[in-house]
């Protein structure tokens, strides 16, 4: 065995690559570029252990270009010039692909040294960074590159990599590896979406397992916790416990209990499930707070965007911001009640035709068909309101939105009662 397990099992084809389906599923942009052999300058950004280096290797192999690797933490302009000097040399007749890791550590002058060669196509650049490239990469390079975001791997994807790792280790050691209850899943759950960390944890567990008499190495949850320096947390994303925690999370926010809501957020994040926390928060902002505090939806979206941008563990901070905001905000379920009642009517049967005066009148012959003739333009009337029918005749007088008893919706109700008092 030479080198870490993560390097020994590094995928060499797209078929073996795990995760990042939003980039490499058939039909996605990166997938199409690679298979078409049309490799352009690219910037890969995302957390460590999400496959950026592996993808660069695959791209180089499939493009048949000569691959050079530099790390911007210790590389210099001279190193870049040495790569450029190889353009056209024997072995690089198909072109050169330069993989520059951690490009954010190159200053502006160093990044500018790449411009001429990536512009004329003599060198194809793939740069990677754990930081937002729009903050750290020189604009001239950004404008000449396609940017691809690598996201933390989901547990199901990490489990695939771990299974490959187990097979490799069993073959190398000529032993069988057996996991106690939840130990296998615990490796994936405690790595925070970092497949390299998961494989390092696996290898450390195996190497520390000691001698065996029956030809089997036994890996326990306790060994995983020691190797990962994290407490294994039972949260089966495909089982009931996953949905139980998410349910308790939203219900605690709905019930205006900020302490319980933060607790369940912590449980979700401890399982590495950033996406579920974000989705549930954005839904809750409209479902349970809604028009009682309309700004909550945009604030939560900003918090979620920040969380997804920085990734775990820092993502916990903007998400807690969102949780505390929602849990302490006034509540209204008028939004979900309105849309669900409307959807029920639609699904129940014929709701009638759109009124003639509301139909599109912007085409030849519309007036002959009676379209839009009696429509009253509200902006031509006082307070930008005029009484007219909008619902289909069969639903005339139907009320879907019922303002609830909170400061904002009470103001809405009072305003419209004043405007419509003569109706």
Q: Which two tokens mark 100? A: 């520059």
SS3 (DSSP) at 82 = helix
Q: Concatenated DSSP letters for 47-75?
A: STTSSHHHHHHHHHHHHTPEEEEEETTT-
Shared domain for 164 and 275, answered yes or no, is no
**What is the structure's pLDDT at 88?**
65
Burial string for 353-381 (b: 16+ CB within 10 Å, else e) reads: eebebbeeeeeeeeeeeebbeeeeeeeee
Distance CA 128, CA 250 (A): 37
Would you say 217 and 206 are in contact if contact means Cβ atoms under 8 Å apart? Answer: yes
Task: Average the pLDDT over 377-405 and give the result.
Answer: 92
Shared domain for 45 and 133, answered yes or no, is yes
Would you say 198 and 158 are in contact if contact means Cβ atoms under 8 Å apart? Answer: yes
Per-residue pLDDT of 126-171, as tens digits, reads 999 988 888 888 888 998 999 999 988 888 888 889 998 888 888 8
SS3 (DSSP) at 14 = coil
Place of tokens 């870490």: 4
What angle do the packed helices 274-284 and 316-328 form, to 10 degrees?
30
* 383: CATH: 1.10.3710.10
* 245: CATH: 1.20.272.10
**What is the structure's pLDDT at 82?**
87
Shared domain for 37 and 63, answered yes or no, is yes
Query: Of 208, 228, 248, which closes a domain?
Result: 228
**What is the structure's pLDDT at 230?**
60
Q: Is 415 exposed, middle or buried (0-12, 13-18, 19+ CB in 10 A)?
A: exposed
Distance CA 156, CA 163 (A): 11
Query: Of 181, 207, 228, which closes a domain?
Result: 228
Shared domain for 42 and 122, answered yes or no, is yes
Distance CA 70, CA 231 (A): 36
Shared domain for 145 and 62, answered yes or no, is yes
Place of tokens 């008893």: 405
Shared domain for 289 and 185, answered yes or no, is no
Percent composition of the chain: helix, strand, coil (DSSP 3-state, to 5): 55, 10, 40
Place of tokens 């003739």: 373
* 91: CATH: 3.40.50.300
Distance CA 116, CA 417 (A): 67
Shared domain for 299 and 393, answered yes or no, is no
Per-residue pLDDT of 110-127, as tens digits, reads 888 888 888 888 888 999
The DSSP bridge partners found for residue 125 are: 98
* 192: CATH: 1.10.8.60
Dihedral pair phi/psi, residue 361, rounded to 5°: -120, 15
Residue 344 lies in a domain: no
Q: Is 396 exposed, middle or buried (0-12, 13-18, 19+ CB in 10 A)?
A: exposed
Residue 333 lies in a domain: no
Mean pLDDT of the chain: 87
Query: Of 79, 114, 149, which closes a domain?
Result: 149
Distance CA 197, CA 313 (A): 14
Provide CB contacts within 8 A for 67, sequence distance 6+. Answer: 56, 57, 60, 61, 97, 99
Per-residue pLDDT of 33-86, as tens digits, reads 888 877 889 999 988 888 999 998 898 888 878 888 999 999 888 888 888 887
Residue 251 lies in a domain: yes
Shared domain for 172 and 188, answered yes or no, is yes
Return the minimum-mean-pLDDT range out of 185-199, 319-333, 370-384: 185-199
Place of tokens 């298979």: 35
Q: Which two tokens mark 260? A: 């319980």
Percent of the chain at pLDDT > 90 equals 37
Dihedral pair phi/psi, residue 129, rounded to 5°: -160, 150
For residue 313, say if its preceding peptide bond is cis, omega within 30 degrees of 0: yes
Shared domain for 363 and 387, answered yes or no, is yes
Residue 4 lies in a domain: no
| Residue 232 pLDDT grade (very low, low, confident, very high; cuts 50, 70, 90) | low
Task: Average the pLDDT over 174-193 and give the result.
Answer: 82
User: How many CB atoms lie under 10 A from the CB of residue 162?
Assistant: 25
Residue 140 lies in a domain: yes
Residue 11 lies in a domain: no
Distance CA 409, CA 129 (A): 46
Write out the H or E segment, with its range, that includes residue 126. strand 123-129
Would you say 298 and 326 are in contact if contact means Cβ atoms under 8 Å apart? Answer: no
Would you say 290 and 405 are in contact if contact means Cβ atoms under 8 Å apart? Answer: no
Shared domain for 139 and 170, answered yes or no, is no
Residue 235 lies in a domain: no
Distances (CA, A) of 49 to 60, 62, 275: 19, 22, 18
Dihedral pair phi/psi, residue 145, rounded to 5°: -135, 150
Q: Residue 295's domain spans which residues? A: 240-328
Dihedral pair phi/psi, residue 374, rounded to 5°: -95, 15
How many domains, in total, are found in the chain?
Answer: 4
Residue 6 lies in a domain: no
The DSSP bridge partners found for residue 124 are: 97
Could you tell me the pTM of the whole model? Answer: 0.56
Shared domain for 298 and 191, answered yes or no, is no
Shared domain for 224 and 320, answered yes or no, is no
Query: Residue 294 CA to chain centroid, in angstroms?
Result: 25
């Amino acid at each position: 065995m030479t080198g870490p397990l993560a390097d020994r099992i590094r995928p060499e084809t797209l078929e073996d690559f795990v995760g990042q389906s939003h980039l490499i599923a058939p039909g996605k942009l990166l997938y199409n570029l690679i298979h078409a052999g049309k490799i352009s300058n690219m910037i890969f950004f995302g957390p460590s252990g999400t496959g950026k280096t592996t993808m660069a290797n695959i791209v180089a192999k499939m493009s048949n270009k000569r691959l050079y690797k530099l790390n911007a933490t210790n590389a210099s302009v001279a190193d870049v010039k040495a790569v450029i000097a190889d353009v056209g040399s024997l072995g690089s007749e198909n072109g050169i692909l330069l993989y520059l890791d951690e490009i954010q550590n190159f200053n502006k002058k160093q990044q500018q040294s790449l411009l001429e060669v990536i512009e004329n196509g003599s060198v194809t650049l793939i740069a990677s960074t754990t930081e937002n490239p729009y903050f750290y990469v020189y604009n001239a390079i950004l404008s000449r590159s396609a940017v691809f975001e690598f996201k933390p791997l989901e547990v199901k994807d990490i489990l695939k990599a771990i299974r490959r790792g187990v097979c490799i280790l069993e073959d190398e050691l000529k032993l069988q590896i057996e996991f106690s209850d939840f130990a296998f899943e615990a490796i994936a759950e405690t790595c925070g979406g970092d497949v390299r960390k998961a494989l390092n944890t696996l290898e450390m567990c195996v190497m520390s397992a000691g001698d065996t008499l029956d030809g089997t190495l036994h890996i326990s949850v306790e060994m995983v916790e020691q190797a990962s320096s994290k407490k294994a947390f039972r949260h089966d994303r495909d089982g009931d416990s996953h949905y139980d925690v998410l349910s308790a999370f939203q219900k605690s926010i709905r019930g205006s209990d900020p302490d319980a809501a933060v607790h369940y957020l912590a449980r979700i994040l401890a399982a590495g499930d950033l996406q579920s926390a974000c989705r549930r928060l954005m839904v809750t902002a409209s479902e349970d707070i809604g028009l009682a505090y309309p700004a909550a939806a945009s604030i939560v979206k900003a918090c979620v965007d920040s969380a997804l941008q920085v990734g775990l563990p820092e993502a916990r901070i903007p998400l807690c911001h969102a949780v505390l905001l929602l849990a302490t905000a006034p509540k209204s379920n008028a939004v979900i009640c309105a849309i669900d009642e409307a959807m029920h009517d639609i699904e129940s049967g014929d709701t009638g035709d759109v009124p003639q005066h509301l139909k599109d009148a912007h085409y030849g012959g519309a007036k002959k068909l009676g379209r839009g003739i009696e429509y009253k333009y509200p902006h031509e009337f006082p307070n930008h309101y005029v009484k007219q029918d909008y619902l289909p005749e069969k639903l005339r007088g139907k009320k879907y939105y019922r303002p609830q008893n909170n400061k904002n919706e009470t103001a809405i109700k009072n305003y419209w009662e004043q405007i419509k008092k003569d109706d």
